[in-house]
Amino acid sequence: MRAFLLTLALMLGLAGAAHAQSDEIEATIGAQLEAFKADDFERAFTYASPNIQGIFQTPDNFGRMVQGGYPMVWRPAEVTFLDLAETGGLLFQRVQIRDGEGRLHVLEYQMIETEEGWKINGVRILQAPPATA
């Protein structure tokens, strides 16, 4: 009985840690989306990983890339967080975004944990979900 209770406590502890991790990741992505909506590219850039910051060098370069390549991220009308999954030791958060024209997009955010907290290490557009009547 004691072993069962210990196992149960460990499982609940791990589930709680995973939930906290998911909340922190969603908060990071959500904060970056809010910064984009406010055209605050400097703040949005702070949520990018050091690798992404190195590629784009400046918040303005980063903002232009998002405006041109990810307009649904720059101006989301609705955001729904889907699943958080680990693949090959990396964490991926799927996010469904409805753009201003009502189209749905599913994106996969690769997340990394740094000393400053969770950072976005890349975003990939996945196939959009099928339309429903």
Predicted confidence (pLDDT) per residue in 47-82, tens digit: 999 999 999 999 999 999 999 999 999 999 999 999
C-alpha 122, offset from chain centre? 9
The strand pair at 90-99 and 104-114 is best described as antiparallel
pLDDT tier for residue 124 given thresholds of 50, 70 and 90: very high
Tell me the CATH class for 2-126: alpha beta
pLDDT tier for residue 2 given thresholds of 50, 70 and 90: low
102-113 pLDDT, tens digit per residue, is 999 999 999 999
Domain ranges of the chain: 2-126
In b/e form, how buried is each residue of 31-53, taking b as 16+ CB within 10 angstroms? ebbebbeeeebeebbbbbbeebb
pLDDT reported for residue 6: 47
